Amino acid sequence: MHLSEIHNIIKGTVLKNELMSKHTSYGIGGKVLAYIRPYDRYELIKIIKLINENNSKLYFVGSGSNLLVNDKKINAYIITPSKALKSFSIENNVIMAESGVMLGKIVKEAIKHNLTGLESLVGVPGTLGGALMMNAGAWGAEISNYLVSVEVITYNGRIKTLYPKDIEFNYRYSSFKSNEFILSAKFKLTKATDEEIKSKKLIASKGRISSQPLKFRSAGSVFKNPHSRLAAGLLIDKAGLKGTKRGGAEISEHHANFFINHGNAKAADIANLIRLSRKTIYEKFGVMLELEIKTIGFNKSELYPYA
Ligand SMILES: Cc1cc2nc3c(=O)[nH]c(=O)nc-3n(C[C@H](O)[C@H](O)[C@H](O)COP(=O)(O)OP(=O)(O)OC[C@H]3O[C@@H](n4cnc5c(N)ncnc54)[C@H](O)[C@@H]3O)c2cc1C
Query: Which residues are known to be catalytic?
Result: 172, 221, 292
Mutate to test the pocket of ligand 1, among 57, 68, 106, 133 (most ligand atoms within 8 A of CB): 133
Contacts of 132 (CB under 8 A, 6+ apart): 99, 143, 144, 147, 150, 174, 176, 182, 185
Mutate to test the pocket of ligand 1, among 28, 61, 224 (most ligand atoms within 8 A of CB): 61
Taking 50 as the pLDDT cut, the residues of the chain under it are none
Q: Which residues line ligand 1 (CB under 6 A)?
A: 25, 59-67, 81, 99, 124-127, 129-131, 133-134, 136-138, 181-182, 212, 214, 218-220, 294
Strand, coil or helix: 184: strand
pTM of the full predicted structure?
0.97
Span 42-98, pLDDT tens digits: 999 999 999 999 999 999 999 999 999 999 999 999 999 998 999 999 999 999 999
User: What pLDDT, on a 0 to 100 scale, did the predictor assign at position 130?
Assistant: 98
Residue 187 Cα to ligand 1 middle (Å): 18
| Count of all residues that appear for the chain in the document | 307
